[in-house]
Structure 1
Amino acid sequence: MAHVGTATSAVGGAGRDLAGQYLDAAIGLLERVRDEEAGAVTEAGRLIADTVEAGGRIFVFGAGHSSLPAQDIVYRAGGLALVNLLAVPGTVGVDVMPATLGSALERVDGLAAAVLDTSPARAGDVLIVISLSGRNALSVEMAINARALGLKVIGVTSLAYPQATKSRHSSGTYLKDHCDVVLDNKIAVGDAELATDDIPAPFAPASTVVTCALVQAVVATAVGALAGRGITPPLLRSGNVDGGHEWNGRIMAEYRDRIFYRS
């Protein structure tokens, strides 16, 4: 975590310096991910490409703020049309009251099994599980149960947490222990990149920025792998460009048995 000098003004020079410090920290993390996770990104992209080629489907799950990178690759212009959000009601974001309910649900044993058993996921599919800490029962069990059903699991997490925190799953294990591929987003425990002498808590989280980029890098790799095999990737186009809706309609029709967010 970067430590910057005392802020003297929210608008003046120190305020601008904090913005620069945050952006520098985020860029530094992105550079680390680029340099240190290249092999895992390639492996994850190849796994997704293999699944698409074999007729399988792609699912992604994240709870709390980890749901944001998950949502970022679902029904997204420029993204693979076959990525489906595996949503657990009450855990997708701050759409429940109190907001702490979502955090509580992440610690409930057995919830992941119920979700997977009632989902369209099946053997041969891929599930991407995104969890910053990787310590809560929901993400751990999501990976365990998915593999038991015959899915391949890609985990996106911070490997700093298992070194500094205690697992909240009865097995004492973490998300990283139940994945076919693990992607480390390099986020420090606490997810705050800045601290100043006159502000009582660290601030400026970067996990969403970095994790979104990391997952998009995996999708880009999968797209490239498919094209390299002579397979046209099922990509979506923006509905805000001419012809976008028509293009997407054709993709939705062609892959309707593998897309579950369509009506």
Structure 2
Amino acid sequence: MGGTGSAGGHGTLSGRFFDAAIGLLERVRDEEGESVAAAGELLADTVADGGRLFAFGAGHSSLAAQDLVYRAGGLALMNLLTVPGVVGVDVMPATLGSALERVDGLASAVLDCSPLRAGDALVIISLSGRNALPVEMALTARSLGVKVIGVTSLAYTTATKPRHSSGTFLKDHCDVVLDSKISVGDAELTLDAVPAPFAPASTVVTSALLQAVMATTAAALTARGIDPPLLRSGNVDGGLEWNDRVFEEYGDRIFYRR
């Protein structure tokens, strides 16, 4: 598609990106409702049964995972499962993080040293769902008795080949799968003068999808007569005191303060 880069309006590149992102959000709202509900119930079950909550994502997928942790308006019990050199793009060189995602055995070593145990829940975010790390993470976690929610784009399962030795994708080892609907390559725009597609929307969509799950979890806990352990902003009056009470009550299930 051709176009210009001037600002404002639906016909501009900026407008086209917003339209694309909104369209994806509408799709996940309309098509993933049952999966969002199932994921919310799974997390609510975990909290009610005394389990702990964890989230993992590699590279840019880690952004959506981090968005769930120690977040105003979010569940205080969500912890980040970290893999050295993989979470974010702060490792140097940044390409090392991508290489580590393809290493067999890394996920098992990480889980062996992690606090995860049977009865916990783990959210694994991987756009392609094809690399060894997220696949092995899900497979191993479930073998330990951990419930797994996978957030991925199912488009990759028909357009790419898996890189894990099992020949499977992340989706094959999850209790609940959330499809972000992101197209292969994660780029929403093209321009005649630009040789490659550009403007990724996976972070926007994945974060929104997971916040919808968090909202569902809070509602599911309330319906069971359980006050959801939510955090408040420390920048509003009373917020810090509220959070201190939550931390005290649920301290044995919160790992980001240790």
Query: When the two structures are superposed, what TM-score results if normalisation uses the length of structure 1?
Result: 0.96
Residues in 1 aligned to 2:93 and 2:114: alpha-carbon distance in whole angstroms: 26
Residues in 2 aligned to 1:160 and 1:202: alpha-carbon distance in whole angstroms: 17
2:3 pairs, out of 1, 6, 18, with 6
Residues in 1 aligned to 2:41 and 2:181: alpha-carbon distance in whole angstroms: 22
User: Structure 1: any 5+ residue segments left out of the alignment?
Assistant: none
Query: What does the per-residue CA deviation read over 1:135-163, in whole Å, with 9 as the maximum and x for residues that have no partner?
Result: 00000000000001000000000000010
Any conservation in 2 of the 1:6–1:198 contact (CA below 8 Å)?
A: no
SS of match in other structure, 2:37: helix
Question: How far apart are 1:94 and its partner, in Å?
Answer: 1.2
Any conservation in 1 of the 2:60–2:88 contact (CA below 8 Å)?
A: yes
Provide the residue aligned with 2:99 in structure 1: 104
Provide the residue aligned with 1:219 in structure 2: 214
Provide the residue aligned with 1:163 in structure 2: 158
Please say if 1:72 is aligned against 2:73. Answer: no
Of all paired residues, the percent bearing the same amino acid is 74
Question: How far apart are 1:117 and its partner, in Å?
Answer: 0.9
Question: How far apart are 1:6 and its partner, in Å?
Answer: 3.2
2:139 pairs, out of 136, 139, 144, with 144
Question: How far apart are 1:236 and its partner, in Å?
Answer: 0.2
Please say if 1:201 is aligned against 2:166. Answer: no
RMSD value over aligned CA atoms?
1.3
Please say if 1:153 is aligned against 2:120. Answer: no
Query: What does the per-residue CA deviation read over 1:102-150, in whole Å, with 9 as the maximum and x for residues that have no partner?
Result: 0000001111011111111100000000000000000000000000100
Please say if 1:228 is aligned against 2:223. Answer: yes
> Does 174-183 or 15-24 show the bigger shift?
15-24
Residues in 2 aligned to 1:211 and 1:203: alpha-carbon distance in whole angstroms: 18
Any conservation in 2 of the 1:135–1:167 contact (CA below 8 Å)?
A: yes
Residues in 2 aligned to 1:28 and 1:128: alpha-carbon distance in whole angstroms: 24
**Does the C-alpha gap of structure 1 residues 39 and 13 become closer, same or farther in structure 2, counting only changes over 3 Å?**
closer
Any conservation in 2 of the 1:73–1:83 contact (CA below 8 Å)?
A: yes
Residues in 2 aligned to 1:253 and 1:111: alpha-carbon distance in whole angstroms: 34
Residues in 2 aligned to 1:13 and 1:171: alpha-carbon distance in whole angstroms: 48
User: Structure 2: any 5+ residue segments left out of the alignment?
Assistant: none
Provide the residue aligned with 1:37 in structure 2: 32
Please say if 1:125 is aligned against 2:120. Answer: yes
Question: How far apart are 1:68 and its partner, in Å?
Answer: 0.3
Provide the residue aligned with 1:172 in structure 2: 167
Number of equivalenced pairs: 258
The one-letter code matched in structure 2 to 1:6 is G
Any conservation in 2 of the 1:61–1:130 contact (CA below 8 Å)?
A: yes
Question: How far apart are 1:62 and its partner, in Å?
Answer: 0.2
Question: How far apart are 1:76 and its partner, in Å?
Answer: 0.2
**Does the C-alpha gap of structure 1 residues 50 and 98 become closer, same or farther in structure 2, counting only changes over 3 Å?**
same
Query: When the two structures are superposed, what TM-score results if normalisation uses the length of structure 2?
Result: 0.98
Query: What does the per-residue CA deviation read over 1:221-260, in whole Å, with 9 as the maximum and x for residues that have no partner?
Result: 0000000111000000001111111111111111010000
Any conservation in 1 of the 2:9–2:15 contact (CA below 8 Å)?
A: no
